[in-house]
Structure 1
Amino acid sequence: MSGFIKRTRAWLVAFALLVVWELSCRLFHIPEFILPAPTRILEVTWQFRNELALHAFQTLMTTIVGFFIAIVVGILLGVAVGSSSAVYDSLYPLLIGFNSIPKVAVVPLIVIWTGIGTIPAIVTAFVISFFPIVVNVATGLASVEPEMRDVLRILGATRYEMLRKVSFPRALPYLFASLKVAITLAFIGSVVSETIASNYGIGFLMLSASSRFQVALVFSGVIIIAIMSIAMFAICIQVERRMVSWAYRSQAA
């Protein structure tokens, strides 16, 4: 019984919030263009289901593409930064400086360079999500004890063998921790880009709906983005449990 309650706790809290939201809108007669009731949002979502599905698929595809590019680039940079002190000293400060730039300010430049459409959304999703991967991979590589490195050198292991057999496996929990953060950031990047320079995607749909004061449709877009983010987050967790279950045995017990 306790296990069932634990699994359904989040659903119960979400349901309670929706009930409070619905009752507040009805009791206080809040106008729909300010805060639509959940039942109205559900009605609008069904009414525009085809249009929402089309734009949601566009956002999901651009986010996934940008996310996978961020994984590849993030792992390569993370390995370089974590394995070489020279690369760390020369590249890491630049990465920190780049990450501190508001990405909304970068999107217009991306649009100038790549044009309007899908490419800016992919690039923005990549730009906003690769930094956590770099940092966590580099941190994971640095977590290997110096004593273990010394023992491996004495046993004749090359630098590549130490990276492949010890350092990178040790960094996998850090990598998957960063992926769960990066996927949510990738969705933010895609939606921000779609609101600025795209004719498709949930961001474009929300911007168009807000200009027509269709607030319920805007909320539908927000909820769809949340659902897709949670789904991708859950996929990352499942892959993590299969690949690095050894790192969480004590927690599972």
Structure 2
Amino acid sequence: MNKKQMERWSPLVLLLGMLMLWQLACTAFDIPEFIFPAPLAIAQSLAEFSGPIAQAAWKTFWVTMLGFGLSIVVGVLLGFLVGSSRLAYAAVYPLLVAFNAVPKAAIVPILIVWFGIGVGPGILTAFLISFFPITVNMATGLATLEPELEDVLRVLGAKRWDVLVKVGLPRSMPYFYGSLKVTITLAFVGTVLAEMTAGDSGIGYLMQSAGSQQRLALAFAGLVVIGAMAMLMYELFSYIEKHTTAWAHRGSQGG
């Protein structure tokens, strides 16, 4: 097995090793399932409740995608505004940092008052927890455009708009995709948080119900599903990034 194959299979090998240690620990110390379920118990719950889990997962997925899509639109537009103007950067960026510091769990009760129980708080929580990294990365990609390069383009007749659109935006793409890979996992966190607090369906609601009934294996099964969905979306964006911004990663190819 060569180095590339080892790198490809190493996450799976590590995961299997951790699961084996987890199972052995639960068996050796006879840990009750309602306190800390073993991997086999979690797998059994996944199989036994596959129907309800699939329905809950689909609900969580599309709610997350709506909030995430909204965060992309707002994040890109706001990031372009902040990154293209020094005045906007100085005025807006501190406010964004302050807003991002507010715990999103504290906002969910307010969203419940405004939008009631259902998908509304889930979509908005996924959006609120996701748009900041996209905005910051887009703004950083534009704001860090080399002054020398901009001066050369200006001498060649390019206007400020041309520099931003034809040079700044392509240059920001690695930053943009990096933010997507981070925020998609945050979006799932936001959705599940809202579902556990204000939901009437979804994985978060399922986990909350299972936990209140001390069915920890089912609650952990929900965690497994959320992790799997987030990982798949992360890999999707990694694939898109690799095939659209190969020029930014040519130095890391090979080996």
- Report the CA distance between 1:4 and its aligned residue: 2.4
- Report the CA distance between 1:180 and its aligned residue: 0.7
Alignment partner of 1:84 is 2:85: yes
- Report the CA distance between 1:70 and its aligned residue: 0.6
2:107 aligned partner:
106
CA distance in 1, matches of 2:246, 2:174: 9
Alignment partner of 1:138 is 2:176: no
- Report the CA distance between 1:142 and its aligned residue: 1.6
2:190 aligned partner:
189
1:180 aligned partner:
181
User: Cα deviations across residues 116-153 of structure 1 (Å, max 9, x unaligned)?
Assistant: 11111010000001100111111111221111111212
Q: Which stretches in structure 2 are left out of the alignment for 5+ residues? A: none
May I ask how many residue pairs the two structures share in their alignment? Answer: 253
8 Å CA contact 1:40, 1:216 repeated in 2 = yes
1:170 aligned partner:
171
AA partner of residue 219 (structure 2): V
User: Cα deviations across residues 71-104 of structure 1 (Å, max 9, x unaligned)?
Assistant: 1110111111111112112211111110000000
Q: Which stretches in structure 1 are left out of the alignment for 5+ residues? A: none
1:27 aligned partner:
28
Say which SS state the counterpart of residue 7 (structure 1) adopts.
Answer: helix
8 Å CA contact 1:143, 1:170 repeated in 2 = no
CA distance in 2, matches of 1:221, 1:78: 34
1:5 aligned partner:
6
1:210 aligned partner:
211
1:72 aligned partner:
73
CA distance in 1, matches of 2:97, 2:5: 44
AA partner of residue 50 (structure 2): R
8 Å CA contact 1:73, 1:130 repeated in 2 = yes
Query: TM-score, normalization: structure 1?
Result: 0.98
**CA RMSD after TM alignment:** 0.9
CA distance in 1, matches of 2:13, 2:66: 34
2:41 aligned partner:
40
CA distance in 1, matches of 2:15, 2:67: 30
* Aligned structure 1 segments of 4 or more residues deviating by more than 4 angstroms: none
CA distance in 2, matches of 1:5, 1:251: 17
1:63 aligned partner:
64
Aligned residues with identical type, % of pairs: 47
AA partner of residue 52 (structure 1): I
